[in-house]
C-alpha cells in the first residue's frame, strides 16, 4: 500500500480504472493476489475481479461499485478520489470529480459487501445516539430498575397477604391431645384442622406434591403444594375426591391405618374417591 504512495500511473489517462487497479496490483515490489486483498477488505473476490475487468454489472448497485473501487484504490495506495471520479465517467454517472466523497458512497459500502452494509450503518447510528444521549439513557435505566424493584416488592407483599388466614390460624391452634396415626414423616404443618377431631381420612406428603380436594359439585375445598411432613385432614363424608400431582408422594391414612398407595412417584392421578371403603380397596 505504501509502494504507490497515493499516486496513479503516469499513463493513467489512457488506462481504464480496471487496468490501473490490475497494473498497480501486479507490478512493483509488492505484487499481491486478489484473494489476499479480498480477505483484508472483506469484499468478495468476484467483485474485485469485476472491477479489474470493467464488468461492473456483476456488482448489484453502482453505489457499491464506487465504494468497492474507493476501498480497493486506498488499499493499493492510489488516490481514491481520482479513481472514483474516473470510474464515474466510465459508468456514465457524470464527469464531476469533486463529489466523489460527498455522500454518494456510504461509509459502510466502502469497506464491506451489500448484504452486511445495513447493520453496520444501523450499529453506527446506535453508537452515535448512545454517545450523545448517554446521560438520559443512564437515567432511564435507573428509573426502570427502581420501578422493577418496587413492583417486585409490592407483588411479594400481596402474595404474603393473600395466604389463607384460616390455614395460619389453624396451624397456630392445634390441639396436640388428639390421637393421630404414626406418620412415616414428622409433621411439618397441618391444614384443614377444623376437620381434625372427626377426620377419618388424613393425607400426608412424603414428597413434594400438589393436592386438590373437591366436593361432589366440583367446588374446591383445598388446593396446595404440600411438602414432606405437611398434613391435610379431609372433611368427614364420602362426597369428596382428590387429585394428586405426585401420587407416590402422598400417604393416605384411613382411621389410623395406612391405605394402599394411590399411584407411583411423579405420576398425576385424578378422581381419587376419599371415602374410607374406597381408599382401602383401591391402590396399586
Q: Is the pLDDT of residue 109 over 60?
A: no
In this prediction, residue 175 carries a pLDDT of 54
Residue 51 has pLDDT above 80, yes or no: yes
Residue 267 lies in a domain: yes
Q: What is the predicted pLDDT for the residue at 167?
A: 45
pLDDT digit string, tens, across residues 148-187: 998 988 887 665 555 444 444 344 445 554 678 999 999 9
* Spatial separation of the C-alpha atoms in residues 238 and 200, rounded to whole Å: 10
Residues 34 and 115 in one domain: yes
The reply to whether 209 falls in a domain is yes
What pLDDT, on the 0 to 100 scale, is given for residue 103?
40
Which tens digits make up the pLDDT trace of 199-244?
A: 889 999 999 999 999 998 889 989 999 999 999 999 988 789 999 9
Count of the separate structural domains present in the chain:
2
Do 218 and 271 sit in the same domain of this protein?
yes
Give domain status of residue 139, yes or no: no
Residues 118 and 39 in one domain: yes
51 domain-assigned: yes
**209 neighbors 249 (Cβ within 8 angstroms):** yes
We report the CATH number of the domain holding residue 241 as: 2.60.40
Q: Furthest-apart CA pair in the chain: how many Å?
A: 113
Is the same domain home to 274 and 184?
yes
What pLDDT, on the 0 to 100 scale, is given for residue 2? 42
Residue 56's pLDDT is what?
A: 87
Q: Could you tell me if 185 and 110 lie in one domain?
A: no
pLDDT value at residue 125 = 75
pLDDT one-digit tens code per residue, 67-90: 999 999 999 889 999 999 999 998
Shared-domain flag, residues 180 and 272: yes
Which of 97, 130, 163 is the C-terminal boundary of a domain? 130
Please indicate, yes or no, if residue 258 is contained in any of the structural domains: yes
Q: Which of 130, 159, 188 is the last residue of a domain?
A: 130
Same domain, 121 and 23: yes
In angstroms, the CA 1 to CA 274 distance is: 89
Mark whether 95 and 180 lie in a shared domain.
no
Mean pLDDT of 129-138: 85
Q: Which is more confident, 20 or 116?
A: 20
**Looking at the whole model, is its pTM more than 0.85?**
no
In the chain, alpha helices (H): 17-26, 34-41, 45-53, 62-76, 80-91, 114-132, 134-161, 165-172, 276-281
**191 & 274 share domain:** yes
Asked if residue 151 belongs to a domain, the reply is: no
- pLDDT exceeds 90 at position 194: yes
User: 22 and 118: one domain?
Assistant: yes
HEC readout, 175-207: CCCCCCCCCCCCCCCEECHHHCCCCCEEEEECC
User: Are 124 and 218 within one domain?
Assistant: no
Among candidate residues 75, 96, 130, the one where a domain is terminated:
130
How many of the other CB atoms lie within 10 Å of CB of 210? 16
Residue 232, domain extent: 173-281
Domain presence at residue 136: no
Give the model's confidence band at 107: pLDDT under 50 very low, under 70 low, under 90 confident, else very high: very low
pLDDT for 3 equals: 44
What's the rounded Cα separation, in Å, for the pair 70 and 100? 9
Those residues whose C-beta lies under 8 Å from the C-beta of residue 193, and which sit 6 or more positions away, are 170, 171, 173, 174, 233
Amino acid at each position: 500500500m505504501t509502494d504507490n504512495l497515493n499516486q496513479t500511473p503516469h499513463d493513467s489517462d489512457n488506462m481504464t480504472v480496471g487496468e490501473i487497479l490490475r497494473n498497480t496490483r501486479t507490478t512493483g515490489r509488492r505484487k499481491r493476489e486478489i484473494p489476499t486483498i479480498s480477505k483484508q477488505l472483506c469484499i468478495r473476490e468476484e467483485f474485485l475481479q469485476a472491477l479489474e475487468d470493467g464488468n461492473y454489472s456483476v456488482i448489484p448497485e453502482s453505489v457499491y461499485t464506487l465504494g468497492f473501487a474507493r476501498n480497493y484504490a486506498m488499499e493499493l495506495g492510489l488516490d481514491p478520489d481520482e479513481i472514483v471520479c474516473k470510474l464515474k465517467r466510465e459508468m456514465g454517472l457524470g464527469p464531476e470529480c469533486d463529489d466523489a466523497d460527498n455522500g454518494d458512497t456510504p461509509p459502510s459500502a466502502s469497506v464491506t459487501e451489500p448484504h452486511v452494509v445495513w447493520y453496520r450503518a444501523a450499529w453506527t447510528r446506535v453508537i452515535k445516539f448512545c454517545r450523545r444521549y448517554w446521560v438520559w439513557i443512564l437515567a432511564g435505566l435507573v428509573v426502570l430498575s427502581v420501578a422493577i424493584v418496587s413492583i417486585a416488592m409490592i407483588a411479594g407483599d400481596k402474595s404474603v397477604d393473600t395466604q389463607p388466614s384460616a390455614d395460619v390460624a389453624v396451624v397456630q391452634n392445634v390441639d396436640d391431645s388428639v390421637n393421630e396415626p404414626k406418620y412415616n414423616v414428622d409433621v411439618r404443618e397441618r391444614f384443614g384442622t377444623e376437620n381434625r377431631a372427626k377426620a377419618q381420612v388424613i393425607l400426608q406428603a412424603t414428597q413434594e406434591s400438589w393436592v386438590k380436594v373437591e366436593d361432589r359439585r366440583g367446588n374446591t375445598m383445598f388446593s396446595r403444594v404440600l411438602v414432606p411432613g405437611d398434613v391435610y385432614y379431609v372433611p368427614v363424608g364420602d362426597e369428596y375426591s382428590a387429585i394428586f400431582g405426585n401420587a407416590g408422594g402422598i400417604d393416605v391414612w384411613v382411621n389410623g391405618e395406612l391405605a394402599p398407595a394411590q399411584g407411583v412417584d411423579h405420576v398425576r392421578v385424578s378422581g381419587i374417591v376419599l371415602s374410607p371403603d374406597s381408599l382401602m380397596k383401591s391402590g396399586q
